[in-house]
Amino acid sequence: MSVKPIREHAGKSLLQKLLPEYSGGKHSMGEAGVLITPEVLNNTSGQTWDLVLQQNPWLTKTKLVAKPDQLIKRRGKAGLLAVNKTFDEAKAWVMERMCKDQKVESVTGQLTHFLIEPFVPHQQEEEHYICIQSHRYSDEIFFYHEGGVDVGDVDSKAERLKIPTGATLTADMVKMLLLKKLPAAKQPNMSSFILSLYKFYQELHFAYLEINPLVMLSDGSVVPLDMAAKIDETASFLCQQKWGELDWPPPFGRAAFPEEALIRDMDGKTGASLKLTILNEKGRIWTMVAGGGASVVYADTVADYGFGQELANYGEYSGAPSTEETFVYAKTLLGLMMKYKHPDGKILIIGGGIANFTDVAATFGGLIKALELFAEDIKENKIKIFIRRAGPNYLEGLRKVKVAGDRLGLGLKVYGPETHITAVIPMALGLIDPLPEPDLSGGPCGPPTRKKIEVKSAKKDSTPAPRAEKHTIVTATAETTSIVYGLQTRAVQGMLDFDFMCKRKAPSVSALVFPFAGNHYVKFYWGTEETLMPVYTTTKEATEKHPKASVFVNFASFRSVYETTIEAMTYPSIKTVAIIAEGVPEQQTRAIIKAAEMKDIGLIGPATVGGIKPGCLRIGNTGGMLDNIVMSRLYRPGSVAYVSKSGGMSNELNNIVCRNSDGVYEGVAIGGDRYPGSRFLDHMLRYQDDAGAKLLLLLGEVGGTDEYDLIESVKSGRITKPIIAWCVGTCASCFATEVQFGHAGAQARGDLETAAAKNKAMKEAGFYVPDSFDKLPDMIAKVYTEMVEDGRIVEQDEGETPQVPMDYTWAKKLGMVRKPANFISSISDDRGDELKYSGVPISECFQGDIGVGGVLSLLWFRRQMPAACTEFINMVLMVTADHGPAVSGAHNTIVSSRAGKDLVSSLCSGLLTIGPRFGGALDDAARMFSAAYDSGVSPKDFVDNMKKTNQLIMGIGHRIKSLANPDQRVVIIKEYAQKNFQDNSILNFALAVEQITTKKRANLILNVDGCIAVCFVDMLRSCGAFTREEADDLMEFGCLNGLFVLGRSMGFIGHYLDQLRLKQPLYRHPWDDITYIQDLGGDVVPDQ
């Protein structure tokens, strides 16, 4: 999610629709034009020229302009502008170029989208230039009284007006600061238009809007002739209704692939992050990388080794994608790789940083499935596959994929965190021999064993004492405590486990805030002991009850994080706020930054994993699982303090730093958005002033200028400690078109913002800058060794590695423990990617159209019964659904509903009347008739025996129905059973009994309960799904009464809703329908 360019037609359409609203009716815009797509090449479907004319009759009534609408700059100079044309001329001009290759400067692409709009006759002096763009602390408007293709360097020419975040733009400000060179007569109208345009810009969350030329005609109307615009896509939840369906076109020169659309669609439907950009579909080197920052680092390293032109794709799969999502992603990549053969074969690098919470084994299940699908193609295309992955359950994932690779004969090379993140790349490119693969049969990778650096002669550290300056972000101590917003029990448990390992005296989390439940307590572990933590519904109450908590860790979603953060900053005890959510609109972030700086509150994020200070505080999931905390020795402080944009890469930095120095002193991921709450400089100044931080490490990225602020601080002497730095995104120079990298801010808006320019500037300023990220570990080792040798760092003896308390759930998942289950369930399973009924995925239930009867057969009988049986179940539910309001169950339900009871209580009131006298005869009838038939007794003897023993025959008898006036429910069920069941023995026996009983009294017929019962027994015994023993067991279990309960519940609920709909009052039974007996019990009336 990021700032993305939109088509000119989209921008003008929005302005045409909303300009009257934002100008109070003072300004309007003519036709925004019509977008012509490749569909016009097919006269039989989609967009045809006839349809275009039908929908836009103005096209034949005015002269027109035609031009490509594909984010192409300087179209006029490239000869891609048709001016003052008739409709037929414009049509011919478009058709001549549609879907044809066109070279624009150094980029060649296919022209596929054209804008046809009205031609506006005007004079050169009526052309002007305007541009609005956003910065960290302000919006800025550029205006020049001249415009057009030859306007020149507007950055130096234009008048500028900065509007600070939260400030109001006025007409006087516009006239005074922007319109000085515009004729006075034009100023009021132009000022009014600019005010309206700025409101439009703000309300629709634009991040960039340029109109050149902007024409003001003699009648005072203002017309935008050419427009370029970018919108903050993250604001869709705020602006979707006003935006409508926006198209996000790829840069000119890069085709839009259906595979990209597939992944983009999947990304929009999942909580994971799935991205794919195809750079060179014939390229030899393909990557499948987990993590936004990691994806850039992998592309960089390939490019830095000179293979940038062979890089085929850029993308990421991260944020805990499911097994199925990973399968689709891997299958898509492998399918693309098979399109074109390469004589030297191809390379697939499957990598990623050390995950925080993604189950590596689960995602690799999807990868293995894709490898199995393409195994033969992989071998035929001579594809070499190198894998490097780490994080939760990584060992199991690597084991599984290695076994699968060996079984399929793919020759996979598999590595874990014992190598750094990009170590596999020179191996994959053939630049070095592959390293020995790790032993995957043991436990997870432990912390590295390092020998202390030998110091020949100890020197005294001459570094000057740090300044005593105040910093907005308060450096954490072992007493720092926090409040966590959101019921993030996993993250909080991770924070407490870290605290315990660091030997803190008390947990670093004081309370949680969760507004969707009442105040309560949640159980956590402190080591191996259990402890209770309070949960409040408001931040206000949490801060009042815990005034010493100074850190607010906000896990609210991007939809609500603005309001919750602004509120938290109103409480004076909060000094630092960490915003975890990704996708926070830039306008909201900038407002948060302004509010925080006014209150001297430090911010980390948005879009951050947090930060970590060994021995003191861990924010959220920073550092990953506990085994990674141990592996990177984050339980005790080292000497290296780092700042990173990427949260995923912070885990890698922890690993790299630990293996090449004495470890991390503190680390912060500031977040990958364009405007992070705190900047590199904010943290580097803290580290400079902290005596414990000896060596500083920066991992920046393409986009933004924050690195230059740090350079100035080094040049001025404010920062004197050595800094090792690398800016990711160096691969951008290899791409012919603009690429949006994984983070919203990872996009250069000028030469100074490129990674290469930043790395060069930092190196010239005296930073230690390696030749590529792959060389960063060596650079850290080199500088650290020098600092130890010259006495600036004094190494300490490594203490005992703490034991890691492991949660039972996770240990069980890893297969390390077992215990008997408290419950056993064999009918449903909700643990996987999809709910299953008796092993059948819910999607298959719908695809097979099995209906309620089929679902019931799976959940009650644990098998899929034949269609005739499931249809019979449906029939039973239908005929038992209701029998009027007078029966006891319906009566109770009605009385309860009229007494004001809720639906569940009223339903239960009705259900509790079901028994031997009402509705509960089904099971008894089934047992009675089947037992009689199985014993071989004749129907007549059966009736006689029941009479002799004074027993009622269950299922026989009706209040009003007879053979001459049959119950239609019985007729329907009986006829269906006779037609569809293989055997009707019990039914025939019951009908024979009916012939005998009706001779005694006409209404002693087989009633609906009895008919359902005997037909159900016949169905179970003859359908082939059950053994005789299983069928008899089901009858004993009471499943027939269950059918009546299920069916009749529909009727009871109907009666409940009916009474509410009719607004019936409290029911009171009429006294004249009650016989009152006044005599006392035991009284005897004397003889007269």
pLDDT of residue 467: 66
Name the DSSP class of 1006: B
Of residues 113, 145, 546, 743, which has the active-site annotation? 743
pLDDT of residue 754: 87
Q: Which of 312, 234, 239, 327 is nearest to 279 (CA)?
A: 312
Does 741 have pLDDT greater than 60? no
Beta-bridge partner residues of 700: 727
Which of 14-18, 630-634, 648-652 is the most confident on average? 14-18
- CA end-to-end span of the chain: 100
- Does residue 958 have an active-site annotation? no
Beta-carbon neighbour count of residue 446 at 10 Å? 12
Where does the pLDDT of residue 903 fall: very low under 50, low under 70, confident under 90, or very high at 90 and above?
very high
pLDDT of residue 255: 73
Kindly report which listed range (104-118, 181-195, 197-211, 442-456) carries the lowest average pLDDT score.
Answer: 442-456
- Which two tokens mark 534? 């309070």
Where does the pLDDT of residue 628 fall: very low under 50, low under 70, confident under 90, or very high at 90 and above?
confident
pLDDT of residue 463: 65
Q: Which of 851, 880, 881 is nearest to 867 (CA)?
A: 851
Neighbouring residues of 1040: CB distance < 8 A, sequence distance ≥ 6: 922, 923, 926, 1012, 1013, 1016
Q: Which of 300, 317, 523, 503 is nearest to 421 (CA)?
A: 300
Taking residues 600-607, report their average pLDDT.
94
Contact by Cβ (8 Å): 348, 377: no
Beta-carbon neighbour count of residue 557 at 10 Å? 14
Q: Which of 731, 733, 743, 736 is nearest to 703 (CA)?
A: 743
Neighbouring residues of 445: CB distance < 8 A, sequence distance ≥ 6: 390, 416, 417, 418, 438, 631
Rounded Cα distance between 370 and 367, Å, is 5
Neighbouring residues of 100: CB distance < 8 A, sequence distance ≥ 6: 110, 111
pLDDT of residue 739: 58
Average pLDDT in the chain: 90
pLDDT of residue 888: 93
Does 631 have pLDDT greater than 70? yes
> Which pLDDT tens digit goes with each residue over 751-807?
788 888 999 999 999 999 999 999 999 999 999 999 999 989 999 888 888 876 777
Percent of the chain at pLDDT above 70? 96
Taking residues 835-863, report their average pLDDT.
93
Beta-bridge partner residues of 695: 640
Q: Which of 662, 668, 680, 589 is nearest to 623 (CA)?
A: 668
Where does the pLDDT of residue 735 fall: very low under 50, low under 70, confident under 90, or very high at 90 and above?
low
Does 546 have pLDDT greater than 90? yes
β-pair type (482-485, 664-669): unpaired
> Which pLDDT tens digit goes with each residue over 974-1031?
999 999 999 999 999 999 999 999 999 999 999 988 999 999 999 999 999 999 999 9
pLDDT of residue 460: 64
Where does the pLDDT of residue 740 fall: very low under 50, low under 70, confident under 90, or very high at 90 and above?
low
- The burial class, CB within 10 Å (0-12 / 13-18 / 19+), for 884 is exposed
pLDDT of residue 468: 62
Q: Could you give the residue ranges of the DSSP H alpha helices within 774-887?
A: 776-789, 808-813, 842-847, 851-861, 867-879
Where does the pLDDT of residue 1 fall: very low under 50, low under 70, confident under 90, or very high at 90 and above?
very low
More confident residue, 20 or 753: 20
Where does the pLDDT of residue 1086 fall: very low under 50, low under 70, confident under 90, or very high at 90 and above?
low
Does 514 have pLDDT greater than 50? yes
> Which pLDDT tens digit goes with each residue over 552-572?
999 999 999 999 999 999 999
More confident residue, 256 or 409: 409
More confident residue, 219 or 504: 504
pLDDT of residue 262: 92
Does 814 have pLDDT greater than 80? no
3-state secondary structure 364-419: HHHHHHHHHHHHHHHHHCCEEEEEECECCCHHHHHHHHHHHHHHHCCCCEEECCCC
Where does the pLDDT of residue 464 fall: very low under 50, low under 70, confident under 90, or very high at 90 and above?
low
Taking residues 960-975, report their average pLDDT.
92
From residue 507, alpha-carbon distances to 609, 755, 803 in Å are 20, 40, 18
Beta-bridge partner residues of 285: 311, 347
